A and B are shown apart, each in its own frame.
Chain A
Amino acid sequence: MKKQRQWLAVVLATLLLAGALSGCGGKEAETPPAESPAEAQEEAPAETPEETPAEEPEETEPAADEADAAPVEKKGVLMMATTTSTADTGLLDYLAPIFLEQTGWELQWNAVGTGEALKMGENGDVDIVLVHAKASEEEFVANGFGVERFQVMYNDFIVVGPAEPIAHTEDIEAAFKTIQEEQLTFVSRGDDSGTDKKEKGIWKKLELDQTQNPNYLESGQGMGATITMADEKGAYCLTDRGTWLKMKNDADVELQLEVICEGAADLLNQYGIIAVSPEKYPEVNNEAANTMIEWICSEEVQELIGNYGVEEYGQALFTPNANE
């Protein structure tokens, strides 16, 4: 009798715990109905990928087109370190099921800043890296951590911010100069990511010390969080177009920022893919990594990348250029 009671107590405690947690979630969804999941969604893409690709490969439509070939048996897991932009834009969510279908390798990834992604490669924690900081990538290969760098695609950086006082322009240098001179609020990633490096590079090229601007802020967070912060503060920020489009489209608090600078030549954002060296780390899955490189550079997949987002956002998020 006593024992049964104890068991009942344990079961009830577990249930209560679950109830309380779901209660919290419910509350959060209830509050201001129109606005709430804005921030939640922005984080969501980074969290979901681990389950989604493995469990629902059939759902993506293009997969059905390729599925003429007999399904390949599952071979194992390919671990990728990549930047937040590829994950936040949903590109990997889109590609992973197709990759699984066609090659039998299950793609899993860790979406972090370029700095950390390369670090993961250097530590042999992942099999492959997909990042966008050419100089660091080349150094990565030169130091023997990576086998070879293949360019995959690019997207471009844009400056977003209030339409006043900087009017839409192609001249990135003029825009940055105005920000510095008029001490406009600017939110930087400040996390040593590819985007951050790009932005710091522009300041450097202009020989401006951005830290002299009292309204220059470093968020130390991902692109999505940084755009949200810039929106809140009515500030400017440099972002990749993919994340911007996705945010603009999906966030349920409408962003009030606008694209104020785009199209400059040095705003291109080149992605490279590098297999982690099996000589340095014999335990990495080099076979899968090579399959991935070959696959992603193939014409067919390049075309998929080129079409990704056209339907949803009206323009492609990435431009494939593996064959250039």
Chain B
Amino acid sequence: MQVIKELLDTFFSDVGVFDAICVTFQMAFCATAISSVLGILLGLLLERADFVGKKVVIRINRTLMGVPPVVVGLIVYMLLMRRGPLGRLNMLFSIRGMILAQVLIITPIICGMTYTTLVSRAPAVRAFAKTMGADRLQTQWLVVRELKKELYFAVVTGFGRSISEVGAVMLVGGNIKGHTRTMTTTISLLKSQGIFTEGLTLGLLLLLMAFVIQSLADFFQKGERSDENY
């Protein structure tokens, strides 16, 4: 670890690249994990539940899927600032605050994607589960298991959004070196210093790491087959 840190520090300017990488992934993993649980549960709930105004809720969800991250960042900032309603939590300029903002950005995306998949695919799975005599929980579990590829894709999309996001993270995290500086805000900083090549390198590094994580995830997602018989 120390070796990598030194290697990075010699290559990049003194902007705390190693810490930024750690912070980025710490934040992205936490935010994606929380959002996945929330988003998938909400998606399942939304598909199962029938209530007045469901269509409106879905429309709001679709809208939030594209909410500008800076707006979320601003709202979270205003909530968390010392004189804001949640000021005493002392979460502004901290990774926890950044995770909160990201959860608000990513959850609607995962929820929306989950919902869309479920609406088109779950009825067939449920009907089948019924014929096999599955109870409610078993049915729900089968739905998740059968659609894991799609849900996994939703989670990966959320993760990608998380590591690539800069606006909300900059506002809420504050880009503090060694604490809340992420790879994307580092790139933004490097750009503001006119150090373009390092920014670009860091961007490529970010992509590379995303690729490695993607490959690892694919590797552990064993037994995926396409359905040949149509």
A and B touch in the complex (CB under 8 A): yes
Cβ A220 vs Cβ B78 within 8 A: no
Contact string, B94-105, partner A, CB cutoff 8 A, digits 1/0? 000000000000
Cβ A116 vs Cβ B75 within 8 A: no
Cβ B194 vs Cβ A28 within 8 A: no
Cβ B174 vs Cβ A39 within 8 A: no
Please choose the segment from B82-90, B139-147, B206-214 that sits at the chain A interface, where 4 or more of its residues have CB less than 8 A away.
Answer: B82-90
Cβ A113 vs Cβ B192 within 8 A: yes
**Could you say which residues of chain A place their CB within 8 Å of the CB of B181?**
218, 220
CB of B138, distance to nearest CB on chain A (Å): 39
Contact string, B22-41, partner A, CB cutoff 8 A, digits 1/0? 00000000000000000000
Please judge, given known A-B contacts A191-B192, A218-B176, A233-B93, whether A23 and B171 are in contact too, CB under 8 Å.
no
Question: What is the bound-complex CA distance between A119 and B93, given in angstroms?
Answer: 30
Q: Is A202 interfacial (CB 8 A cutoff)?
A: no
CB of A233, distance to nearest CB on chain B (Å): 7
Beta-carbon nearest neighbor of B20 in chain A? A220
Q: Is B193 interfacial (CB 8 A cutoff)?
A: yes
Question: What is the bound-complex CA distance between A310 and B185, given in angstroms?
Answer: 36
Cβ B175 vs Cβ A219 within 8 A: yes
Cβ A28 vs Cβ B92 within 8 A: no
Cβ A253 vs Cβ B177 within 8 A: no
Question: What is the bound-complex CA distance between A191 and B93, given in angstroms?
Answer: 17
CB of A114, distance to nearest CB on chain B (Å): 9
Cβ B84 vs Cβ A32 within 8 A: yes
Question: What is the bound-complex CA distance between A229 and B172, given in angstroms?
Answer: 10
CB of A226, distance to nearest CB on chain B (Å): 9
Cβ A217 vs Cβ B193 within 8 A: no
Question: What is the bound-complex CA distance between A24 and B72, given in angstroms?
Answer: 9
Cβ B194 vs Cβ A220 within 8 A: no
Question: What is the bound-complex CA distance between A20 and B39, given in angstroms?
Answer: 21
Question: What is the bound-complex CA distance between A192 and B185, given in angstroms?
Answer: 15
Question: What is the bound-complex CA distance between A191 and B193, given in angstroms?
Answer: 6
Beta-carbon nearest neighbor of B68 in chain A? A24
Q: Is A31 interfacial (CB 8 A cutoff)?
A: yes
**Could you say which residues of chain B place their CB within 8 Å of the CB of A191?**
189, 192-193
Beta-carbon nearest neighbor of B83 in chain A? A253
Q: Is A232 interfacial (CB 8 A cutoff)?
A: yes
**Could you say which residues of chain A place their CB within 8 Å of the CB of B179?**
217
Contact string, A245-289, partner B, CB cutoff 8 A, digits 1/0? 000000001000000000000000000000000000000000000
**Could you say which residues of chain A place their CB within 8 Å of the CB of B92?**
232
Interface of B is mostly: loop
Cβ B174 vs Cβ A219 within 8 A: yes
Partner among A36, A120, A220, A233 whose Cβ is within 8 Å of the Cβ of B175: A220
Partner among A27, A190, A218, A232 whose Cβ is within 8 Å of the Cβ of B82: A232
Beta-carbon nearest neighbor of B13 in chain A? A192
Beta-carbon nearest neighbor of A231 in chain B? B82
Q: Is A221 interfacial (CB 8 A cutoff)?
A: yes
CB of B94, distance to nearest CB on chain A (Å): 11
**Could you say which residues of chain A place their CB within 8 Å of the CB of B66?**
20
Partner among A31, A36, A118, A221 whose Cβ is within 8 Å of the Cβ of B170: A221
Beta-carbon nearest neighbor of A254 in chain B? B83
Question: What is the bound-complex CA distance between A198 and B188, given in angstroms?
Answer: 22
Which residues between 92 and 139 of chain A lie within 8 Å of chain B, taking CB atoms? 112-113, 115-120
Partner among A21, A28, A229, A232 whose Cβ is within 8 Å of the Cβ of B74: A28
Question: What is the bound-complex CA distance between A25 and B75, given in angstroms?
Answer: 11
**Could you say which residues of chain A place their CB within 8 Å of the CB of B5?**
none
**Could you say which residues of chain B place their CB within 8 Å of the CB of A219?**
174-176
Q: Is A35 interfacial (CB 8 A cutoff)?
A: yes
Q: Is A40 interfacial (CB 8 A cutoff)?
A: yes
Question: What is the bound-complex CA distance between A20 and B59, given in angstroms?
Answer: 10
Cβ A39 vs Cβ B75 within 8 A: no
Report B's interface with A, CB cutoff 8 A: 15-16, 63, 66-68, 71, 74-75, 77-78, 81-85, 92-93, 170-171, 174-179, 181, 185-186, 188-189, 191-194, 196
Report A's interface with B, CB cutoff 8 A: 20-21, 23-25, 27-28, 31-32, 35-36, 39-40, 112-113, 115-120, 190-193, 217-221, 225, 229, 232-233, 253
15 A/B residue pairs, CB under 8 Å, sorted by A:
A20-B66, A24-B67, A32-B84, A40-B74, A112-B194, A113-B192, A116-B191, A116-B192, A116-B193, A190-B15, A191-B189, A218-B181, A221-B170, A232-B82, A232-B93
Extra inter-chain contacts (19) besides given A113-B192, A113-B194, CB under 8 Å? A23-B63, A24-B67, A25-B71, A27-B75, A28-B74, A32-B84, A112-B192, A115-B192, A115-B193, A115-B194, A117-B194, A190-B15, A217-B179, A218-B181, A219-B176, A221-B174, A229-B93, A232-B82, A232-B92
